[in-house]
């Protein structure tokens, strides 16, 4: 009995193995996309205040931490819906496993909420705080005032924590895929930084959809252009890594260089989602031509396409047994 025969009988004939390794569906794409946006919002909105040393000039930035938590909750709902045993999801928090990327991710997601809540409460103005005070029951009012005082006193520390948590969340979404060597398109150390850079860019795009102060908008446009440039460099490094990884790397690269994902990757991700927005942001910075909606929409569409295509390509398989 040959090894090829054993492989055919015991593994490759099983459902969902050949010709496709598809396991994760659109729910994971939504989770990765929204998780990246939240990571970018945490990093950029907190960095704006750390750099300027003042509270947000635009009132639309004050509720941003709460909006980010709402987006993350939608993403976690999509992640939960993808689970096979949904009622056992709480077991992720029953133990911490340092060697498990999913364990790290579960606890990072948990840390986002208290940091975002403290950050958001500290961002509220006196009018918003007055409205909240009226809704807080009397027995909890002293605790609420204590939280507000803590959020004000430790404002800078909370902002630094928001940047660190956002960076961890952005890196985690890519590192989770990169720890699966059986998925050839994911088996790269570049995915973590790539997803982080993409998250910063999509987070900036989300913030640019708001009505911001001119100084805040100019800073975000500049930071977004840097993030797009880093993302393009990382994509080049991703392909260089595949090119130097032997047959497995060439197989992974083929999906994007003549394979089934070539057209959508280069048109939706590289051209529409990166190069065109980068050119428009350059024009906005140099020629003061403001593209209010189109640039953020293109960036968000490209970020969604990046995650969808990489998720699909990583699960696709056209391996055939050697004779």
Tens of pLDDT along the chain (323 residues) come to: 454 444 444 555 555 555 444 577 888 899 999 999 999 999 999 999 999 887 777 788 888 999 999 999 999 999 888 877 778 777 777 777 877 777 778 888 889 999 999 999 888 877 777 777 778 887 777 887 888 888 888 999 999 999 999 999 999 888 888 777 777 788 888 999 999 999 999 999 999 998 888 888 889 999 999 999 999 999 999 999 888 888 878 888 888 988 889 999 999 999 999 999 999 988 877 776 666 789 999 999 999 999 999 988 888 754 433 33
C-beta of residue 165 within 8 angstroms of C-beta of residue 296: no
What domains are defined for the chain? 24-315 (1.20.1630.10)
- Block residue for tokens 């907190």: 46
Q: Report the alpha-carbon distance of residue 173 to residue 192 in Å, rounded.
A: 7
Q: Report the alpha-carbon distance of residue 301 to residue 323 in Å, rounded.
A: 43
Which residues face 20 on adjacent strands?
316
- Block residue for tokens 């446009």: 221
Q: Report the alpha-carbon distance of residue 260 to residue 264 in Å, rounded.
A: 9
C-beta of residue 43 within 8 angstroms of C-beta of residue 170: yes
3-state secondary structure at position 320: coil
Q: Report the alpha-carbon distance of residue 128 to residue 225 in Å, rounded.
A: 34
pTM of the entire structure?
0.86
């Amino acid at each position: 009995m040959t090894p090829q025969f054993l492989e055919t009988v015991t593994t490759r004939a099983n459902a969902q193995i050949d010709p496709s390794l598809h396991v994760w569906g659109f729910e994971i794409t939504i989770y990765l996309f929204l998780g990246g946006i939240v990571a970018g919002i945490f990093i950029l909105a907190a960095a704006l205040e750390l750099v300027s040393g003042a509270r947000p000039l635009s009132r639309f930035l004050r509720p941003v931490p709460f909006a980010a938590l709402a987006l993350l909750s939608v993403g976690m709902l999509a992640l939960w819906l993808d689970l096979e045993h949904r009622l056992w999801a709480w077991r992720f928090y029953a133990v911490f496993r340092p060697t498990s990327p999913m364990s790290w991710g579960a606890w990072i997601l948990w840390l986002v909420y208290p940091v975002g809540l403290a950050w958001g409460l500290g961002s509220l103005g006196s009018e918003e705080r007055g409205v909240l005070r009226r809704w807080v029951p009397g027995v909890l009012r002293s605790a609420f005032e204590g939280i507000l005082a803590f959020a004000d006193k430790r404002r800078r520390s909370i902002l630094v924590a928001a940047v660190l948590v956002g960076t961890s969340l952005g890196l985690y979404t890519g590192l989770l895929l990169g720890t699966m060597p059986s998925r050839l398109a994911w088996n790269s150390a570049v995915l973590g930084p790539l997803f982080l850079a993409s998250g910063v860019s999509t987070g900036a795009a989300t913030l640019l959809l708001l009505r911001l102060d001119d100084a805040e908008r100019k800073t975000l446009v500049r930071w977004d252009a840097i993030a797009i440039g880093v993302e393009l460099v990382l994509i080049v490094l991703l392909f260089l890594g595949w090119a130097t990884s032997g047959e497995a790397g060439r197989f992974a690269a083929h999906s994007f260089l003549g394979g089934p994902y070539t057209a959508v990757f280069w048109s939706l991700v590289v051209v529409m989602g990166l190069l065109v927005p980068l050119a428009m942001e350059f024009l906005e910075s140099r020629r003061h031509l403001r593209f209010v909606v189109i640039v953020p929409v293109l960036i968000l569409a490209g970020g969604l396409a990046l995650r969808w295509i990489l998720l699909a390509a990583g699960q696709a398989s056209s391996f055939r047994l050697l004779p």
